[in-house]
Amino acid sequence: MTVQRAAAQPYTTSFEATVERVDGRDVVLEETYFYAESGGQPADRGRIGDSRVVDVQVDDEGVVVHSLDESPAFDAGRSVLCRVDWQRRMYCMRAHTASHVLYGAARTCMADLGYGGFDIRAAADRSSAEAVGWRGSVDGSEGVDSSDADRVRVDFETSTDVDDDVLVTLERRANQAVWESRDVTWETLSADAARERDGIVFNEKTEEGVFGEDAEVRVVTVGGAEAAAGEPSGRPFDVAACGGTHVRNTREIGPITVLGRSNPGEGMTRVEFAVGPRGIERRGSEKAALLAAGRALDVGPGEVPEAVARLQDEVASLREEATAAQRRLLESRLSQFPVVERDDERWLVGTVEGVDANDVEPMVREAAGDRAAVVVLVGRAGSTFVVAAASESASSNAGGVVERVTEEFGGGGGGSPRFAQGGGLSVDPEGVVEWFRDE
């Protein structure tokens, strides 16, 4: 079993190690500071000798296997210089620690809280086809990839409805913990001692690196805020069994930006967030949008929600007025239609303008039986449409009326004996009305 030191000493990124085994592009070292993919945190990248490390995994026997981009020039038994991509490592440390801070913040605003795991997601590494948390290089020539794929997700099991207000509270309290510069520490305990300690979050399924030899548990603690006047520090912000790499103080995380939420399963809420350039870019774009909205509404940023609510009320009122005016116009139009005698029944047939089939449906239904046994309106909304309604006592069938029209002029439609509509007719509305009167 390879001795893994990345989680215990995450700031070590340059070391010498003896090569234990070489199998094609796969290399095993006697000890390593490369982090192997585990528990939602992607593997480190870097170099062993002159070869680029494109993946690091733990095999079924607990051996850490470093996959290179090409077969190495060195053999087993050689001592090689190894370098971990520091920028990638630091990004993962920040993102992973931020997930702990978010969970600690969630304790204050979510009920019945349980932990469903986390996952650092990002764009594909340029030297590997698999998804990783960062696109970078050993010499720092590329830097952080701030594409839409750069994000971290945390799954919460909670009965709380995680609405926008909860998300805002979650982000605010997480960033408060960053501002307070809380220490982050880690220690190894026996499994029994860890389970006896209150407040430790366990998730053995997602945190594969938690349990080591002899049932030992690695526990990461985000400490309490520094107390004033020499008083003891407050209670820990978060304590969790975790095998990942972490920063030493929350201030190293930088701003945490919540991107959104989703529901991966019943009772679960997935919160996605970003640290680094993507988070900063998101905040900037949201601030720009808020300022632009304020300028458009002629109010300050803090007054935008109230101004939007007023505008929505005005729009609703205008829509009501427009609907009433449209109804009056249709009533006036219907009163002008000549009555046509068909099959010993009174029919009203005519054209309408500026409306679609859905707009006229209520009026047509009401007019059928009131003003005539059958009412047929023809108009244009992109293409010519026809709407027909028949009273309960009418011998004619509205669906049959529309069927005859579509057989004559193409298009399609259908409905019930009381109401039907069709569209896509190949003639102007006046042509349909003329056909009705001449039929």
pLDDT tens readout for residues 390-413:
988 888 888 988 998 999 999 898
Q: What's the pLDDT at 133?
A: 30
Q: 129-176: per-residue pLDDT in tens?
A: 232 232 223 333 333 343 445 789 999 999 999 999 999 999 999 999
More confident of the two residues 209 and 152: 152
Q: What's the pLDDT at 132?
A: 28
Average pLDDT over residues 273-287: 91
| DSSP symbol at 372 | B
In sequence order, the 6+-apart residues with CB closer than 8 A to the CB of 337 are 348, 349, 350
| DSSP symbol at 177 | H
3 state DSSP class of 321? helix
pLDDT > 70: percent of the chain: 87
Rounded Cα distance, 143 and 253, in Å: 17
Taking all residues of the chain, what is their mean pLDDT, rounded to a whole number?
85
pLDDT confidence tier of residue 127, bands split at 50, 70 and 90: very low
Q: 282-303: per-residue pLDDT in tens?
A: 999 999 999 999 999 999 999 9
Q: How crowded is the C-beta side of 362, counted as CA atoms within 13 Å?
A: 9
Class of domain 337-438: alpha beta
In sequence order, the 6+-apart residues with CB closer than 8 A to the CB of 330 are 352, 355, 360, 363
Nearest alpha carbon to residue 125 among 112, 109, 138? 138
Instruction: Supply 48's token pair.
Output: 């062993």
Least confident interval from 11-25, 80-94, 192-206, 394-408: 192-206
CATH T-level topology, domain 3-84? Elongation Factor Tu (Ef-tu); domain 3 (2.40.30)
Rounded Cα distance, 273 and 120, in Å: 10
Residue 230 has pLDDT above 70, yes or no: no
Q: 308-319: per-residue pLDDT in tens?
A: 999 999 999 998
Q: What's the pLDDT at 154?
A: 92
Question: Do the domains at 3-84 and 337-438 have one common CATH topology?
Answer: no
* CB-CB contact of 82 with 44 (8 Å): no
Residue 61 has pLDDT above 50, yes or no: yes
CATH architecture of the domain with residue range 89-296: 2-Layer Sandwich (3.30)
Q: What's the pLDDT at 183?
A: 95
Domain ranges of the chain: 3-84, 89-296, 299-327, 337-438
Q: 317-376: per-residue pLDDT in tens?
A: 998 898 888 778 877 777 778 777 777 888 888 888 888 888 888 888 888 878 888 888
Angle between helical axes of 429-438 and 398-409 (0-180°, round to 10): 110
Tokens 């349909």: give the residue: 432
Q: What's the pLDDT at 123?
A: 41
Q: What's the pLDDT at 437?
A: 77
Rounded Cα distance, 364 and 142, in Å: 66
pLDDT > 90: percent of the chain: 52
Q: What's the pLDDT at 293?
A: 95
Tokens 């609907």: give the residue: 323
Whole-prediction pTM:
0.73
Q: What's the pLDDT at 115?
A: 82
Q: What's the pLDDT at 94?
A: 95
